[in-house]
Amino acid sequence: RLESAAGAARAAGVSAPDAATIEAGAFALGTGIREQDVARLVRASQPPHAPGSSLRVAGALAALGVPSGETVDLVVQVIEAGQPVADVLSLPARVQAGIGSGLSPGEAAGQARRRGRGRHGPPGHGGPPKEKPGHKKPPHAPGRPGGVT
């Protein structure tokens, strides 16, 4: 896998890939990401995004069960949207949180993608939580803490 990862990085235009890129590429390949997708991730990872970090994130997402094509699209979209490195690095945790709340890995990745659009500030801070349809807060009774009557 190391040789395949190095070849994918070279195919992406990196004449002498560093050890971190090769090792992360081998990890990503081991999780089911294809060589051409490893090359795509390396090409997309322009400073400040390091190819090794992007590949590790993609491998972690695939290991969580996100389909490999969707994984690659998600990581590339976050990078190309100009999101900070921290947003890319937080993707596995955000997807894992979605899985923990009952979403499938693909649904959790979609949620992470939607939350990353048009958002400013650190991951997960896209504004106050929204009410679920049909779930209104009970009215607050005046003079009683917490609406207890």
- Please determine, for residue 21, whether its predicted confidence score (pLDDT) is greater than 80: yes
On whether the CB atoms of residues 50 and 20 are closer than 8 A, the answer is yes
Other Cβ atoms closer than 10 A to 51:
24
Other Cβ atoms closer than 10 A to 70:
16
| Of residues 149 and 37, more confidently modeled | 37
On whether the CB atoms of residues 62 and 29 are closer than 8 A, the answer is no
pLDDT single digits (tens) 43-100: 999 899 999 999 999 999 999 999 998 999 999 999 999 999 999 999 999 999 999 9
Joined tokens for residue 111: 């949620």
Mean of pLDDT values over 104-124? 70
Joined tokens for residue 67: 């389909």
Joined tokens for residue 77: 């979209």
Per-residue pLDDT, 37: 95
Q: Report the C-alpha gap between 123 and 44 in whole angstroms.
A: 21
pLDDT single digits (tens) 90-106: 999 999 999 999 999 99
- Please determine, for residue 22, whether its predicted confidence score (pLDDT) is greater than 70: yes
Q: Work out the mean pLDDT of the chain and round it to a whole number.
A: 82
Per-residue pLDDT, 39: 94
Per-residue pLDDT, 103: 94
Percent of the chain with pLDDT over 70: 77
On whether the CB atoms of residues 32 and 71 are closer than 8 A, the answer is no
